[in-house]
Structure 1
Amino acid sequence: MIPALIILFLSALFLVWQGTLPLQIGFALMALSISAIIWRRIRRALTLRRIRLETKERKAKWGGIMTVVSGLSSFMGTSCHLFITRNDELVVEDVSGARLIPFPEIDRMALLYGRSVEKMGDRQLMKELGFRSIPHFSSVRAWVARNPRSRKRLLLVVRFQQPLNELEYSEMVVFSDIENLGNLRVFALRPEVAVKTAILPRRVRGKRRSLRKMTAPVLDHNQLK
């Protein structure tokens, strides 16, 4: 959205400079684009502040805002709040209510970009992420295709020891940080998260330290059989 507003501003400026666009209309378009950019920045700052306050009020270790992609009864694309409590529980809150997931019930977690899901097959993802069985990412790929911005954003994959509950028969939940409000770098650094989480890619460009050191070891291929 912001790149489009910048293009609008520059286009209006160029057309005014060329004399092909009346000054009043040009200045109105430039003012509109600048105002929209500022408003989006302010709204983002307010949202981040709100999630920090909620995390502090709950005395939680971490908090973030994600988008549901698959695995929950919530509608696909629904925004939700995630927290890690002091009792090592993952709380997922959305319009349909709150879910409390103890960490011992989580088998494995993964952080990877949307484009990685598109490029890699399910068997390859199973091996790279250390899953014990083949995950099914077909619905996730379809969602990423419909939301191109998500290709450059991280996905959070959570696999459970057993289905979440009777109403939500799902062994895997996928969230997207499409709005970049998930605070996932801090999430990955939490010790209780790192021991269960695989990250793709395991090395961040410009960083010497490999992210694999912060993640749980990938299981040997023989163990996955």
Structure 2
Amino acid sequence: MIIALLIFFIATIFLMWQGTMPLVLGIVLAAGSAAILLYMFVKNAHLSLKLQKAMKKYKAKWVGAVAIVSGLSTTLSRDSILLLNRQDELIIDGPYRSIVMPLESIERIGVLYGESIMRNSDRDLSTMLALGMMPNFSYIRAYLTRNPQAKRQRFIMLKPFATSEEIERSDMIVLVEGSALSNLKALLNRPEIASIARVLDKKHIRRDRKAGKLRKDEDKSEEQSAKQRHSQIKESIPRQNTGAHELWASGDMRVRGADNNDSKSR
């Protein structure tokens, strides 16, 4: 967003300098883009200062801004801070209170893009994230429908071993990465987090789909080759003309047996 605004601002100034764009329109567009850039700069500076204060307060090894999507009671603010302290505890810190979760109490941490949630079924997501349960992501899909821009953001799913009064539904806490300042990759690369985390990036989803498609193609080719082998074996077996089929079809087998018995009795 910031890069796009910078390009737009520079392009507006350049067109004004060339005389291609009217002066009044150029000034309005340049001033508008500059105001938005200034607002975003102040907002990021305020967030960075807030994260630094939280890191000093909890003596954290990592800190990042998140937004609560579902799983926690509404008494906790939606815009919160996620921290990892030196006691190996994940802390969700809000303006009014905080929740502390030791890493020993967390069974799985799943990280994936919102686009992956929309494109995959609950069963596939459970398998790819190794959740060991059948989750219900309908409320997350409803959130993504209301906020289409969140499809490009990463979602963080915290699945504890045991549920508590804080967790509302689905036995999971679902967060969404709030800012690029969070550097979520640094958290996932930590050994204590990597042991329980499962990350699905866009490349991973493409590889899984490609592998599934290749497996289907291999199954089809194996089935076709099996049919060909079966037909070749069938053609290689010499047919013996015993007349049994013709006799059975015409009903002469039963009659012939009866005639033989009659001749013997005679």
Are 2:187 and 1:179 equivalent residues in the alignment?
no
TM-score scaled by structure 1? Answer: 0.77
Correspondence for 2:155? 155
Query: Does the residue aligned with 1:162 lie in a helix, a strand or coil?
Result: coil
TM-score scaled by structure 2? Answer: 0.66
* Structure 2: gaps (5+ residues): 205-266
Residues 1:15 and 1:148: Cα distance change in structure 2 (over 3 Å): farther
C-alpha contact 2:156 2:174 (8 A) present in aligned 1: yes
Residues 1:60 and 1:2: Cα distance change in structure 2 (over 3 Å): closer
Code of the aligned partner of 2:144: V
Instruction: Give the CA deviation at 1:74.
Output: 2.6
Are 2:134 and 1:122 equivalent residues in the alignment?
no
Distance 1:133 1:163 in 2: 14
User: What does 1:1-225 correspond to in 2, within 5 Å?
Assistant: 2=2, 5=5, 9=9, 10=11, 17-18=19-20, 21=22, 23-74=23-74, 78-165=78-165, 168-170=167-169, 171-201=171-201
Distance 1:172 1:105 in 2: 12
Deviations 1:84-124 (A, max 9, x none): 12111111122452111111111111110110011111100
Equivalent residue pairs, number: 201
Instruction: Give the CA deviation at 1:76.
Output: 10
Query: Does the residue aligned with 2:60 lie in a helix, a strand or coil?
Result: coil
Give the alignment's Cα RMSD to 1 decimal.
Answer: 2.8
Distance 2:185 2:127 in 1: 23
Give identity over the alignment, percent: 28
Query: Does the residue aligned with 2:99 lie in a helix, a strand or coil?
Result: strand
Distance 2:26 2:75 in 1: 41
Code of the aligned partner of 1:59: K
Instruction: Give the CA deviation at 1:71.
Output: 0.6
Distance 2:200 2:116 in 1: 8
Runs of 4+ in 1 over 4 A off after TM superposition: 1-16
Instruction: Give the CA deviation at 1:32.
Output: 2.5
Code of the aligned partner of 1:183: N
Code of the aligned partner of 2:93: E
Code of the aligned partner of 1:90: L
Code of the aligned partner of 1:54: A
C-alpha contact 1:163 1:169 (8 A) present in aligned 2: no
Which one has a bigger Cα radius of gyration?
2
Distance 1:83 1:52 in 2: 11
Code of the aligned partner of 1:168: I
Instruction: Give the CA deviation at 1:139.
Output: 0.6
Distance 1:180 1:147 in 2: 18
Residues 1:75 and 1:177: Cα distance change in structure 2 (over 3 Å): farther
Instruction: Give the CA deviation at 1:144.
Output: 1.4
C-alpha contact 1:63 1:82 (8 A) present in aligned 2: yes
* Structure 1: gaps (5+ residues): 205-225
Residues 1:155 and 1:62: Cα distance change in structure 2 (over 3 Å): same
Query: Does the residue aligned with 2:182 lie in a helix, a strand or coil?
Result: coil
Code of the aligned partner of 2:29: L
Deviations 1:138-185 (A, max 9, x none): 1111111221221111110100111132x5334101111143343211
